[in-house]
């Protein structure tokens, strides 16, 4: 008797969704990351490179004004990353830096990248990465990780 209802039951059963075309494979981004010793308020050589973008130096400090009507104003803690584009194409970098103490506890994280435009071939540029909220222990850092990712 089931054979009489089988065609109707099969018609009501859910069908497998139609096969979807595979998504286009994402182009991998160029990436660099490395650990460095941390020094507060000192220019530190980095020497890293990713696809022709040379990471020259990094500098950690607090932004304050030493003179004028804003004398003594504190504008937060930052890392400044200086780069040189040694390639023949423009680069669009993004940066992340994480600072740790000697016991490997995270003290602060900052990110940043290209504002408007890109770093043109042969140009040098400096990027400010701002630390927010968790930053009071930052000057006591022991080491940091710097990551650079180039967007297409």
Q: How confident is the model over 85-121, as pLDDT tens digits?
A: 999 999 999 999 999 999 999 999 999 997 778 999 9
CATH architecture of 29-151: Sandwich (2.60)
pTM for the whole structure: 0.76
Q: Which of 110-123 are b and which e, b meaning 16 or more Cβ less than 10 Å from the residue's Cβ?
A: bebbbeeebbeeee
The enclosing H or E element of 6 equals helix 2-12
């Amino acid at each position: 008797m089931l054979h009489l209802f089988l065609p109707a039951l099969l018609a009501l059963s859910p069908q497998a969704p139609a096969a979807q075309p595979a998504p286009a494979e994402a182009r991998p981004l160029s990436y660099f990351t490395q650990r460095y010793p941390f020094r507060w308020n000192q220019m530190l050589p980095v020497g890293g490179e990713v696809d022709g973008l040379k990471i020259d130096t990094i500098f950690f400090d607090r932004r304050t004004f030493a003179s004028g009507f804003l004398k003594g104003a504190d504008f937060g803690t930052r890392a400044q990353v200086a780069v040189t584009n040694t390639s023949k194409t423009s680069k669009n970098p993004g940066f992340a830096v994480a600072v740790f103490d000697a016991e490997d506890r995270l003290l602060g994280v900052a990110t940043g990248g290209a504002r408007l435009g890109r770093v043109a071939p042969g140009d040098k540029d400096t990027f400010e990465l701002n630390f927010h909220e968790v930053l009071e222990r930052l000057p006591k850092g022991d080491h940091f990780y710097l990551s650079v990712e180039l967007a297409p």
